[in-house]
Amino acid sequence: MTPPWPLPLNIPPDALQELSKTLTPTGIADYSALTIFSVAAATYLSRGYLWDQPDPYQHLVYERPQLKNGGAAGSATKETRNIAKKLEESRKDMVVFWGSQSGTAEGFANRLAREISLRFGLSAMTADLSDYDPETIAEVPQSKLVGFLLSTYGEGDPSDNTAELWDWVNKTKDQGQLLSSVRYFAFGLGNRNYKYYNRVVDVVVEALDKLGAKAVMPVGKADDAEGATQEDFMTWKESLFAVLKGLGFQEHEVQYMPTLSVQEDESLEPIDLHNGEPDGGSLKAQCSPIRPLAISASRELFNSSDRHCLHIDLDLTSQPEFTYKTGDHLAIWPGNPDSEVERLLQALGLSSRRDVPITIKSLDSATKVKIPSPTTVATVFRYYLEICGPVNRDNVLGLAQFAPTPDAKAYLQQLGQDKASYAAFINKNHVNLGRLLQQASTETWNIPLSYLVETLPLMQPRYYSISSSSVISPRKASITVVVSTTPVPENGDELIHGVTSNYLLAVSENLRSAPHPEGLTYHLNGPSDSLQGGKVLSHLRKSKFKLPTLAKCPLIMVAAGTGLAPFRAFIAERRQLQQIGREIGEMLLIFGCRRHDEDFIYRDELEEMTSVLGEKLRIVTAYSREDKKQYVQDKISEVGDDVYRLIDEGANFYICGKAEMAREVEKAVAGVMSQKGQDEANEWRTRMKRRNKWQEDVW
C-alpha cells in the first residue's frame, strides 16, 4: 500500500507498510469508532450553521442605545461624551440629566430646562444619561448647575439609560471628593406601591453627597400610586425656582421662545416624507427592530357585552430576525383615533393644511429633534405625539398665552392656577388637548406647531407579556389585551379610551369586517399603507421573567386579570415537556378576576391542562365581585401550607399584574413564612431574590 502523504526521509518504507496495516479498519469496532469520529467531526464543523446559531441580537448588548439609527456613531461629526466639554462648547449654564423608562422623566426634564431658560435667562440643556460618560460630571465647574431627574421601576431598578451612571456611582462613592465642584438638584419618579419606592434617586443622591457634590435643595419625589406625579413635579419645580432666585438669578416675565423650527415646505414630494414609521432610536439594547406583523387570529376572551379582552396571535414568519423566548414582551406601536386627530386639526385651523409637508429643525445645537422630518401635521398628530392624554396643569397655564380671546385666556388661567379646582375639573371632564381648546373657545387657536412638538409627549409603544410558548409556537407570538374603556369618575356617560388597546380592538374587528364597538376609527392601513390586511407595527423586548432551567423545579404563579398571560405560556411549555418524557415540577397557580363566568380568561384551556397534568398543576381562584369577595393575597393565606412547602422545596415564585397587588402578595407570603417559623428578618425573601427565584412582572 502506498501512503497518500509525502514520505519523511527518516522513516523506512517497511515501517510505513506496517503502520498502514495498523491504521486499516479490520472489524466492527473499528468501523464503529470511525463512524463516531466522523459524526463528531461533522457536528463540530456545522456548529453555528446547523446548530447553536448565534443570537441575531447578541451584538445589541454591546451597543449604546443612543448610537442606534443615526446617533452619534453614525453621524459625520462625532458628539463628545464629555458633559463638561459639551456645556462649554454650547455655552450652557445648566444640564438636566434624565433617566427614563417610559418617557415621563424625559418629558419633565424638557419642560424644566425650557421653563428655566424662559424664566431666568439661564441657558439650559437636557441630556440622556447614556449619551455622556458619568465620570466627566466631575469636570463640571461650580459656576454651572447639574440636575438629575431619575425614574425607578420594577424591583428598585434604574432605567436602561441610567445604567452607566448607576454603575459608576456605586463603584466610586467611597473614593473621596471627586465631585467637590458640582452643584446639583435631583427629583425622583416612583410609585409607593412598589417596595423600593424611589430607590434610584435615593442611591444616586447618597453617592453624590459622599463624592462631595453640593445639593442646592432637598431631593424631590413623585408618587404615582395615586396619579400625583404631575402635581408632585409642579410643587417641586416651584421650590426649585425659589432656590434659583435665592442664588441670585433674576426672574423674568415668561415669553415663549421656540427651540425648534417647524416650517411648511411645499417643494417636497410625497416620497421625501416620513409617514408615521416609528423612529426606534430610543429603543434599548434588548429590543428587536420595529417591523410590521400580521395578526393571524384574534378572539374575545370575556363573556361580557360591555368589556373586551382579546387574545391576538401575531405571525412572525415574515420577519426571520424576530425570535422570542417564553416570558418575553411584545410591543405595539399604535395610532391615535381619527376623531381626536380631526378635533385637534380643527381647533388649530389646520384641517386644510394637514397634508402640506413640514420640516422640523433644531434651533439649538444641544436640542435633538425626536420626530422624523420632513413629514406632515396630520402624521405628527396621528403617529408621533400623544394627543389623547389629559393636559397637565402646567400646560393649561402655558396655553393661555395663545388664547384667541381674552375670555379664553382668563378661563385657562383660572383653571390652571388652583390645584384643587383643576383636580375637581378633571374628575368631571376628560380633556385632552383638542377637547380643552374647543371647550375654552370656539375660535381658531394660533398655537405654534413648535410649541406642541416641544410640550406634548412623544408616542410610546405599549408592552404586552407574550402569552404563548416559544417551544410550542416559535413563529407565532400571542398577546392578551384587555381593552381599556374607563368612565370619567364623576361623569359616567363620558368614556376615556385607552389608546393602544382600542387601536388593537379596531384592527381585530376590521379583520371580521366589523366596526369598533364604540364607533372609533383609525387609519388602519398605517404609514405608507404598510399595514394593510391586518398588520401592526411591533418589536420584541427581552425579559428576565423566565422559567427555571430545570423543568422539575416547582412553580408558584400569582396573577390577576391579564397578568395570567405569561403563565399560560409557562404551563403550556411544561405540559409539552411532560409529553416528551421530561420530569416536570409541581405548579401552583393562584389567579384572580371579577367573576368566574365573566372574565376568567383561558378557563377552558386551563381546565384541559389540569386534566392532562393531573397532580402537577393546581389552580386556585379568587373572585372580587362575587358573594365572597376575595383577592389573590387572601388565597395565599388559605393555601399557606402548600406555599411554604413548595418554597421549602426550592420553588420559583412569580407575580404578574399591578404593582399594588404584588405588594400585597409579598406581604401575604411573608405572613405565611413567619407562621412557619421563618425569622422576621425575611432572609427567605432575600435568599430567593438573590438566586433569581422571586420574579415580578408588574405595572
Q: What value does the mean pLDDT take over residues 533-556? A: 96
In the chain, what percentage of residues exceed pLDDT 70? 88
Indicate the DSSP class of residue 196. Answer: T
The confidence score (pLDDT) of residue 63 equals: 38
Return the pLDDT at 76.
Answer: 41
Rounded-to-integer distance, Cα 677 and Cα 673, Å = 7
Cβ atoms within 10 Å, residue 232:
18
Q: How far is CA 425 from CA 430, 497, 582, in A?
A: 9, 19, 60
Burial of 257 (0-12, 13-18, 19+ CB in 10 A): exposed
Q: What is the pLDDT of residue 12?
A: 53
pLDDT band at 160 (very low <50, low <70, confident <90, very high): confident
Tell me the chain's radius of gyration from C-alpha atoms.
30
User: 360 burial class (0-12, 13-18, 19+ CB within 10 angstroms)?
Assistant: buried
Q: What is the predicted pLDDT for the residue at 268?
A: 95
Q: What is the mean pLDDT of the chain?
A: 89
Assess whether the previous peptide bond of 517 is cis (omega < 30° from 0).
no
Q: In which band, very low, low, confident or very high, does the pLDDT at 681 lie, cut at 50, 70 and 90?
A: low
Q: Taking 70 as the threshold, does the pLDDT of residue 36 lie above it?
A: no
Query: Over the stretch 643-655, which tens digit does the pLDDT of each residue have?
Result: 999 999 999 999 9
| pLDDT confidence of residue 279 | 84
The C-alpha cell that represents 340 in the structure block: 381626536
pLDDT for the residue numbered 656:
97
Q: Is 130:284 a contact under the CB 8 Å cutoff?
A: no
pLDDT at 3: 46
Please report the domains of the chain, with CATH numbers, ordered by start residue: 81-245 (3.40.50.360), 292-333+459-539 (2.40.30.10), 336-453 (1.20.990.10), 553-696 (3.40.50.80)
What is the pLDDT, as a whole number, of residue 676?
Answer: 83
Q: Is pLDDT of 273 > 50?
A: yes
Query: Which range is least confidently modeled, 145-149, 238-242, 276-280?
Result: 276-280
Q: Are 668 and 633 in contact (CB under 8 A)?
A: yes
Q: Is 392 exposed, middle or buried (0-12, 13-18, 19+ CB in 10 A)?
A: buried
* Three-class secondary structure of residue 292 per DSSP: strand
CA distance 395 to 370: 20
Q: Are 203 and 169 a contacting pair, CB within 8 Å?
A: yes
Mean pLDDT calculated for residue range 46-66: 42
How would DSSP label each residue in 204-243? HHHHHHHTT-EESSPPEEEEGGGT-HHHHHHHHHHHHHHH
> What is each CA distance from 216 to 137, 241, 681, in whole angstroms?
16, 11, 37
pTM of the model: 0.84
Average confidence (pLDDT) over 305-312:
94
Q: How far apart are CA 547 and CA 566, in angstroms?
A: 10
Per-residue DSSP letters for 4-52?
SSPPPTTS-HHHHHHHHHHHS--SHHHHHHHHHHHHHHHHHHTBTTTBS
**Does position 71 have pLDDT exceeding 60, yes or no?**
no
pLDDT for residue 680: 58
158 vs 54, higher pLDDT: 158
Q: Three-state SS for 653?
A: strand
pLDDT surpasses 60 at 110: yes
> pLDDT exceeding 90 applies to what percent of the chain?
74
Work out the pLDDT band at 489, boundaries 50, 70, 90: confident
Helix (H/G/I), strand (E/B), else coil: 474: coil
pLDDT at position 73 over 50: no
Of 159, 161, 165, nearest to 184 by C-alpha is 165
> Position 201: which residue type?
V
Please tell me the predicted confidence (pLDDT) of residue 30.
Answer: 59
Maximum average pLDDT range among 255-264, 330-339, 412-421, 662-671: 330-339
With beta carbons less than 8 A apart as the criterion, state whether 106 and 147 touch: no
pLDDT in tens, 222-268: 998 878 899 999 999 999 999 999 999 999 888 889 999 999 999 99
Query: 3-class SS at 174?
Result: coil
Instruction: Tell whether the model's pLDDT for residue 42 goes beyond 70.
Output: no
- Burial class (CB within 10 angstroms; exposed 0-12, middle 13-18, buried 19+) of 692: exposed
Spatial CB neighbours of 317, under 8 Å, sequence gap ≥ 6: 475
Confidence check: pLDDT of 562 > 50: yes
Backbone angles phi, psi at 203, to 5 degrees: -65, -45
Q: What is the pLDDT of residue 401?
A: 95
pLDDT tens, position by position, 294-308? 999 999 999 988 899
Question: Is a pLDDT exceeding 70 seen at residue 6?
Answer: no
570-612 per-position pLDDT tens digit = 999 999 999 999 999 999 999 999 999 999 999 999 999 999 9
Cell for 108?
419633565
